[in-house]
Structure 1
Amino acid sequence: MSQRQVLEALSGLILGMFVSMLASTVVSSSLPVIVSDLGGTQTSYTWVVTATLLTTAISTPIWGKLADLTNRKFLYQLAIVIFVVATAIAGFSQDTHLLIAMRAVQGIGAGGLAALSQVLMADIISPRERGRYMGLFGAVMAVSTVGGPLLGGFITDSINWRWNFFIALPFAVAALVLVQVTLKLPKREQKKATIDYAGIVFLSAAVSSLLIWVSNAGSTTTDDAGNALAFTDLANNDWWSLLTVLMVGGAIVATIAFIVVELKSREPLIPLSLFRNKTFTLSVIASIATGLAMFGSSVFLSQYMQLSRGATPTMAGIMTIPMIAGLLLSSIIIGAFISKYGKWKAYLVVGAVLLIAGSYLLSTIHYDTNFALVSVYMFLLGAGVGMTMQNLVLVVQNDTDPREIGVASSGVTFFRSLGGTIGVSVMGAALSSKVASLMTSSDTMDRFMAAVAETGEKGAAALESLGSGTLPKVSELPHAIAIIVEDVYAQGISHSFLIGVPFAVISLIAILFMPNKPLTRMTTSERTHAGEADLATVSVSEGMGVLTATGSVTVVGTDDARSAADKR
C-alpha cells in the first residue's frame, strides 16, 4: 500500500480513537465539579474513573479474541456504538450510581477501540513502518488529551458539565462512516467463533473483587443510626477484617480458577502459551507500570490543580498541558526514529527512566510548589509514557505468531489497563486515607479553629460542609479555610504518586531484559502468507526424495517463499 492508501485506511481508525479519547478526557477536568454536584465522595470520584478502567481491562482480551475469530471491521464499529451510547446516557445522570454504571459500559466500548485499533494497524502496516503511524496515533491522542480537558473545562464553566458527554456524538457518526468507506482489509479465513465464557466470568470476578477491596480500604461508612462502620483501618494495620478475607480470598480463588480454565479451554481468552514468549511476558510487566503512570497522573493531576491550587476546570486543563506536550513530542519523534532506523530498545529504556523520574518528582509537590517545577515534572512523566506505551505493543506484535496478533496485542493492552485500574484504585485509596487522617489531625484542627475564628459563621458553615465527606469546591471556601484544604489535598496527592515509583523501576528492569529483536518489514497478512508458503516449501522438499526417482520434479510455492524471505 502507498502512504496515501495507508492514511486513507487509517483515517477512520484515527477518528475512532479520537472519539474515545475525547469522550474520556473532556470530563477529566470537570470530574471534581461533577462528583461534587452529584453529592459524591472521594471513593465515588475514584470509582467514576475505576469503573471505566475495570471494564476496559476485562473486555480488552475478549475483543482481541473475537478479532482473531471474526470480522474485525464490524467489531470496531460496534465498539464505537457501545462507547458513544453509554457516554450520552451518562450525561443524564442524577447521582453517582448511574454515572458509574454508564462509565462501566463506556469502558466496554473503549476496550474494543483500544484493542482493535492495534490489530487493524497490524493488518495493513509492517512493524518497521508502524512506528511513524503510531506516532500519528500518539499525536491524535495528545491533541484530544490536551483539547479534551480545555473544552470540557470551558463547557463546564460557561454552559453545563452535562454537555461534556454529548460533544463526541457527531465525531462518532463521522468515524462510523469513514471506517465503512475507507477501511479495506485483506480477506482472512473465517473461523468458528468459540467464546471462553467461564474465563470471562472468573477474570471479571478476580479483578472486581480486588478493586472493590482496594478502593474501600481505609474508608468508613455509617449505618442508619450514624454509627461508624470501618471496613479497614489502614492507620492501625487492621487488614484481617472479614471483608478483607472475603474479597482477597475470592480474588485469589477466581484467579486460580481462571488459570485452570484457560489451560483447558480450546479457545482461551488469554492463551497462557503466550507467556512462553519472553518478549510478551516482559512487555506485560512493563505495561503495568506504564498504565499506572498514564491513568494515575491524568486522574489525580486534575484533582491537584483544582483542590490544591484552586484552579477552575478550564485552568486545570491548561495547567496539565506540559504533561501532554511531553507525551505528544516523544510519541511523534520516537515513532519516526524507530521507523527510520529500526531500533527500539534504547528509546524504551529512556522512557522507563523518565517514568521513574516523573513519578518520584511528582511525589514531592506541595500546594505552593513553584509551577515551573511542577511543569517540568509533568513533562518528564508524559515523555516517559509516550516513549513506552504504544511501542510495547509494537514490539510484541513484531515477535508474535501472526495468527495470535489479536490476543497478543489485546493481552498487552489488557495488562496496561489492569495496571492503570489497580493503580488508580490504590492511589485513590491512599489519597482518601491520607486526607482523612490529615483532616482529623490535631494540628489541622487547630488551624481550622483559628480560621473559623477569623472568618466567623461563613467559616463555621464551610467547616461543617467539609465534615460531610463530599468533595469540596475549594474556590467557594473562605480563603483561610481554602488554604488548609489545599495543603491537605496536596499532601495526599503527592503521597499517592509515590506508589508509582516502584512499579516504574520494575518496568525499567523488564525492558532491560527484553530481547532486542529487529523489526520486520512485513505486515501481519504478509507474514501469514509467508508462513503458508514456507510450509508448502517444506512439504515439497520432503517429497523431493521420492519424486527424484521418476526423473521429473515440479516445485510449487517456492517463489512466494523466496519473495517472503527477501522481504524479511
Structure 2
Amino acid sequence: MTSTEPQKKRKQYTIFAGLMIGILLAMLDNMIVGTAMPTIVGDLGGLNHFTWVITAYTLASAVSTPIWGKLSDLYGRKGMFMASIVVFLAGSALAGTSSTMTELIAYRGLQGLGAGGLMVGAMAIMAEMVAPKDRGKMQGMFAAVMPIAMVGGPFLGGFITDNLDWRWAFYVNLPLGAIALLVVGLTLHLPKRTGKAVIDYWGAALLTVGIASLVLMTTWGGTEYAWDSWQIIGLGALTVLALAVFVWVERRVEEPILPLHLFKIRNFTLASVLAFMSGFAMFGAVSFLPQYQQIVQGASATNSGLLLLPMMAGVLVFSTISGQLTSRTGHYRTFPIIGMGVMAVGAFLLTQLGMTTSSFTSSLYIVVVGAGLGFLMGTTNLIAQNSVGLRDLGVATSTATFARSIGGSLGVAILGSIFTNRIHDSLTTALGPSGASLTSTGGQLSPKMIEALPTPVRDAYLGGMVDGIQGVFTLAAVFLALGFAISWFVKSEPLRDFTVASSDTKDTKPVPVLAD
C-alpha cells in the first residue's frame, strides 16, 4: 500500500458519510413528521386533508426518482445529488413556515421532489466510485441508515413536538443538509459528462401523470370513492392512457427518461420486479404492524417503534453478510432467492398473529422478515447496476429504487383496503349493521378510544384488527412466494467494474478521483 492510499481511503469514507446523510434526510423525514402530525393538525386544522401531507411527499419522491437518475446520467452525478439536496432543503424550510394545511401539502411535495434524488444519487455515486468486489462492504454502511431512521425518527419527532415547536420537525433537516452539501462539494470529484444533453420532457410528464394516477386510484379506491365510481374508473383510464403514450414516446426520443431497451436485459428486469415485490411487503409490514402492536398488544406509540427494531436489525445484519460474501466470492445469484424465500416464510408466520400473541413471539416473526429483506435490498440494486453500462448506471439505479417505492405505495394502498374491509366485515358480523359505524374513519380508532368502548364492542374491534392483520400478511405471503419463484430466473454474471473504462460501453471516462 502506498503512502497516499490511507489518505484516499479516509477521504472516501468522508464522502460516504456525506452520501449517507443525504439518504438519512430522505428516510428520517417521514418518521419525524408522522409523530408530529397530531400537533400539526391541531395547529393548522384540516384534519380531513392531513393524509395528503404524507401522500404528497411519497408521490413526488416516487415519480421524480427516475427523472433524477436520468439527469445524473446526462449532467453528472455530483451536481444532481447536490441539486436534490438543495431542493429538499428548500421544501423543508418552506414547510416550517406553513400557516395553512394547503401550504404544508405543497411544500411537502417540493420536499419529495428533492428526496427522489437523494437515494438514487447516493447509490449511483457509490457504484461509480467503488469496484464491485469492494461494494458489499459499503452496503452495510448504507443499510445502517434505515434502522437509525426507523427508530430515531419517532424519538426525535416526539422530542421536538414535546419540547420545541413542530416546525423544527422540518428545520432540523437544514443543518444536516448543509453538512452533506459541504462534504460532497469539497471532497467528491467524478468524471465530467461530455456531449449535448437532451431532456425528455414529454416522457417525464407522462410518467408523472401515469404513476400519480395509479397511486391515487389505489389510495382512494374503496375508501374515498367506490371502485366502480367515475372518479376511480377515470383515474384507471388516465393511468393506462398516460403509460401507453409514455411507452410510445420513449421509443422515439433521443434520450429517453427510462430507456426501454434496458428491459430486454433479463437481470435488469428481474431486479426491478424483485425490488417492487420487496417494497410491497416491507412497507406493508411497517405500516400495519404498529397498529396491531398498539391496539391489540397494548404497546405505546414509542414502544411500537421499538418493536420494529428487530426487523431493522435483521436488515442491517443480513445486508452486511450478503454484501461481504458478494465482495469475497463475486457471486450474488443465491441472495435474492434466499431473501424472497425467507421473507415469504416471515410473512406466513405473521399470518399467525392473534389476540394473545406475545410481543416476543411477534418480534421473532419480524426478525425473519427483516433477514429476508436484508438479503434483497442491496442485491437488487447491485444486479440492476451490473446489468448495464456506465452510461445507464444512474437510470438503472433509479429504476430499481423507483420500483421499490411504487411497490411500497401500491402495497400500502392495496393492503390497507384489505385491512379496512376485514375490520368492517368482522365488526358487521359480530355487532350487526351498527358495527359498521366504527369503521367510518377508515377502520382506525385511537387506543384510548378503544379502551373506552363497551367490552363486547371492544372485543369485536380487536378481533377485527387481528382478522385484518392476518389478511394483510396472507396476501403478502402469496405475493412473496411468487417473487421466490421469479428469483430463480436471475442469472449469475461477472461483476462489472465501473471505476475503470469498460469494454462493453462507449464511455471512455477516467477513474473517479477524490479531491486533493
TM beyond 0.5: yes
Contact 1:153/1:315 (<8 A) preserved = no
- The question of 1:512 aligning with 2:488 is answered yes
Contact 2:58/2:112 (<8 A) preserved = yes
**Counterparts of residues 175-194 of structure 1 (less than 5 Å):** 175-185=180-190, 187-194=191-198
CA positional deviation for 1:64? 0.8
One-letter code aligned to 2:430: D
Provide the alpha-carbon RMSD of the alignment: 3.2
Of 60, 64, 81 in structure 1, the residue corresponding to residue 65 of structure 2 is 60
One-letter code aligned to 2:23: M
CA positional deviation for 1:283? 0.8
Cα distance in 2 for residues equivalent to 1:97 and 1:526: 49
Moved more, 486-495 or 389-398: 486-495
Of 430, 433, 441 in structure 1, the residue corresponding to residue 418 of structure 2 is 430
**Counterparts of residues 452-491 of structure 1 (less than 5 Å):** 471-475=444-448, 477-481=450-454, 484-491=460-467
Cα distance in 2 for residues equivalent to 1:498 and 1:366: 14
SS of the residue 1:219 aligns to: coil
Partner residue in 2 for 1:372: 360
Aligned pair in 2 of structure 1 residues 320, 374: CA closer, same or farther (>3 Å)?
A: same
CA positional deviation for 1:371? 1.2
Cα distance in 2 for residues equivalent to 1:276 and 1:125: 26
**Counterparts of residues 183-222 of structure 1 (less than 5 Å):** 183-185=188-190, 187-219=191-223
Cα distance in 2 for residues equivalent to 1:170 and 1:274: 38
Cα distance in 1 for residues equivalent to 2:84 and 2:20: 14
Contact 1:88/1:165 (<8 A) preserved = yes
| Deviations, residues 126-151 of structure 1 (Å, cap 9, x unaligned) | 12211110111011222222222233
Contact 1:80/1:172 (<8 A) preserved = yes
Partner residue in 1 for 2:30: 24
Of 330, 333, 345 in structure 1, the residue corresponding to residue 318 of structure 2 is 330
CA positional deviation for 1:290? 1.1
CA positional deviation for 1:242? 2.8
- The question of 1:148 aligning with 2:153 is answered yes
Cα distance in 2 for residues equivalent to 1:499 and 1:101: 34
- The question of 1:383 aligning with 2:402 is answered no
Aligned pair in 2 of structure 1 residues 483, 259: CA closer, same or farther (>3 Å)?
A: same
| Deviations, residues 70-124 of structure 1 (Å, cap 9, x unaligned) | 1321211121122233234445666765554443322211110111111111221
Structure 2: gaps of 5 or more residues? 512-516
Contact 2:426/2:460 (<8 A) preserved = no
Contact 1:32/1:303 (<8 A) preserved = no
Cα distance in 1 for residues equivalent to 2:374 and 2:117: 21
Partner residue in 1 for 2:117: 112
| Deviations, residues 25-53 of structure 1 (Å, cap 9, x unaligned) | 33345557766885646x954x5444333
CA positional deviation for 1:295? 2.2
Contact 1:53/1:420 (<8 A) preserved = no
**Counterparts of residues 20-419 of structure 1 (less than 5 Å):** 20-28=26-34, 40=47, 45=51, 47-91=52-96, 97-156=102-161, 162-185=167-190, 187-219=191-223, 231-232=225-226, 239-419=227-407
- The question of 1:527 aligning with 2:501 is answered yes
Partner residue in 2 for 1:566: none
CA positional deviation for 1:476? 5.1
Aligned pair in 2 of structure 1 residues 175, 58: CA closer, same or farther (>3 Å)?
A: same
Aligned pair in 2 of structure 1 residues 531, 101: CA closer, same or farther (>3 Å)?
A: closer
Cα distance in 1 for residues equivalent to 2:133 and 2:466: 44
Aligned pair in 2 of structure 1 residues 469, 131: CA closer, same or farther (>3 Å)?
A: closer
Aligned pair in 2 of structure 1 residues 466, 310: CA closer, same or farther (>3 Å)?
A: farther
Structure 1: gaps of 5 or more residues? 221-230, 233-238, 449-462, 536-559, 564-568
Mark the structure with the bigger radius of gyration. 1
Percent identical residues = 33
Aligned pair in 2 of structure 1 residues 244, 188: CA closer, same or farther (>3 Å)?
A: same
Cα distance in 2 for residues equivalent to 1:422 and 1:323: 21
Cα distance in 1 for residues equivalent to 2:441 and 2:263: 48
Corresponding residue pairs, total? 501
Aligned pair in 2 of structure 1 residues 154, 473: CA closer, same or farther (>3 Å)?
A: farther
Partner residue in 1 for 2:514: none
Cα distance in 1 for residues equivalent to 2:197 and 2:159: 46
Of 431, 438, 456 in structure 2, the residue corresponding to residue 444 of structure 1 is 431
**TM-score (normalizing by structure 1):** 0.80
Partner residue in 2 for 1:460: none
Cα distance in 1 for residues equivalent to 2:360 and 2:80: 44
**TM-score (normalizing by structure 2):** 0.87
Cα distance in 2 for residues equivalent to 1:96 and 1:485: 31
Cα distance in 1 for residues equivalent to 2:484 and 2:290: 27
SS of the residue 1:376 aligns to: helix
CA positional deviation for 1:500? 2.1
CA positional deviation for 1:334? 1.9
SS of the residue 2:251 aligns to: helix
Cα distance in 2 for residues equivalent to 1:92 and 1:175: 23
